[in-house]
Structure 1
Amino acid sequence: MTNPASSAQLTVKHLLPEDSTVAASLLYRAYHDDKLFKDVLGGSDAQTYESRLRALIREELSCFGQSAQPLIGLYQAQSLLAIACVFEAQTELQASRRWDWRLRLMMSAGYLQTQQLIDKEKTIREALADQGHYYFLSFIAVEPHYQGQGLGHHLLDALDELVKENPIASGLGVFVSEADQNAFFRQHGYEKFQVLTFKSVQGELLFKTRAAIMEKSL
């Protein structure tokens, strides 16, 4: 059963510190069955995988917050209904992934798993190197009871505004490995940039240019 969310009651703002636990829960549920995370983080049993996924989300939210990367929340009154986690290329996010971040994640998710996640991010950065100063969408999630009401579309519109407000931003990228995800982003003007494979999971790196975003707003 879904709950109605009126667009007139929705507000977009940076994630409030007190909502970090809710945000982690949203992301955990959204990415629990993600093929790539299952491939990289999967252990000998479901409990091991779930523990690693929770650890990854916890450390990523902490890392994004410490490096002041955009954590965009969609709220109805005081309730967080959806979240998008974005990093800005050529910022302090890389520096924040120092030895203590790696150590914490290695201890909770495993050495090999941590290295594969770092390699994945490095591969994406290298693929988008010619795009200059871009944004990249790492995570997006909608509260399950509010899915199917266009909240994801509201978030993507907010990310367009993020690009428009930054005069040096060249656009926004995202990696998707599911057909429905691909269709969702293409509906918003994202185009295929490159096919990437991580372990046994193949997906598409999509990119929406600043020109496409500005054209949409005319």
Structure 2
Amino acid sequence: MPNSPAEIRLLDHGYSREARSLLYQAYRHDPTFAHIFEADRPGFDQRVRATIRELIHQHFNEELPALGLLIEDRLIGMVLIAPPQRRFDLTESWAWRMRMLLTTGFRCTRRYLEYHDAVMACLPSDNYHVLPLIGIHPEFQGQHLGEQLLEALHDWCAEDPHSKGIVLDTGNPHYLSFYKRKGYEEIGEVAVGPIIEHVFFHPNPQVSVKASA
């Protein structure tokens, strides 16, 4: 366990550099990213770095929220959040598409957009938060810090009266039981090449209370 307590903080573009480094470490071994960005071809690390960079740039450029988990001012975990009222569709941004084409190539960009569209098609309604990226630095995994980040995320999203809950997806089977333990229900599956991407939904506490009233 870390010697110092972890602190939750709302992030802005000033954390972009740290966020890029953290999420690259979190996603460089992700099976979905490995397929989309062709891990068996030279330049894979650069394509993952470029994708993370462009997603973070687009997120903060749109002034969308992000929560960070810090220990002694070091960013060791974070999540990008797309609220229901201001969710940005990547497919609408030609500037984002062009940057992706130039840095990851046509085939990888097309694969990413196909994956993105397939996941979006699984979503239950318009009133939910979506998590484009979430990760804990590998050095700090296995210390229950992911649980702390998720609990803070649930509390933060529950304050939005327009949101019914949170949607995220993963193609890493290692995380399936973890999300289910934290109250996530699987609402869909997407085939990403040989990878099965699982789409999960977690209702906000306020919705659960209303449903049982």
The alignment's TM-score, normalised by the length of structure 1, stands at 0.86
- Identity across aligned pairs (percent)? 25
Alpha-carbon separation, structure 2, partners of 1:43 and 1:12: 33
Asked whether 1:153 is paired with 2:153, we answer: no
- Write the distance in 2 (CA, Å) between the matches of 1:213 and 1:29: 34
Paired amino acid for 1:4: P
Are 2:31 and 1:11 equivalent residues in the alignment?
no
Q: What displacement does 1:96 show? A: 8.5
Verify: 1:41 aligned to 2:24, yes or no: no
Q: Which runs of 5+ in 1 are unaligned?
A: none
The worse-fitting range, judged by mean Cα deviation, of 92-101 and 191-200 is: 92-101
Give the number of equivalent residue pairs.
209
Q: CA deviation at 1:214?
A: 5.0
The 2-side partners of 1:18 and 1:90 are apart by 24
Q: Does 1:94 align with 2:92?
A: no
In the TM superposition, what whole-angstrom CA distance separates every residue of 1:34-72 from its partner, at most 9, and x where no partner exists?
Answer: 111111111663x41111100000000001101122211
Q: Which ranges of structure 2 fall in alignment gaps of 5 or more residues? A: none
Q: Closer, same or farther in 2 for the Cα pair 1:213/1:184, shift >3 Å?
A: farther
CA 1:161–1:145 in 2, change beyond 3 Å: closer, same or farther?
same
Q: 1:203 to 1:94 in 2, by over 3 A?
A: closer
Moved more, 13-22 or 79-88: 13-22
Q: 2:83 & 2:109 partners in 1: Cα distance?
A: 21
1:64 equivalent to 2:59? Answer yes
The CA deviation at 1:124 is 1.9
1:113 corresponds in structure 2 to 108
Q: Does 1:24 align with 2:20?
A: yes
CA distance in 1, matches of 2:48, 2:90: 23
CA distance in 2 between counterparts of 1:41 and 1:27 reads: 15
Root mean square deviation of aligned Cα = 2.1
What is the identity, as a one-letter code, of the residue corresponding to 2:60?
Answer: G
Contact 2:12 2:65 in 1 (8 A): no
8 Å Cα contact 2:20-2:53 kept in structure 1: yes
Please say if 1:180 is aligned against 2:174: yes
**Conserved in 1, the CA contact under 8 Å of 2:91 and 2:113?**
no
Q: How far 1:89 moved relative to its partner?
A: 3.7
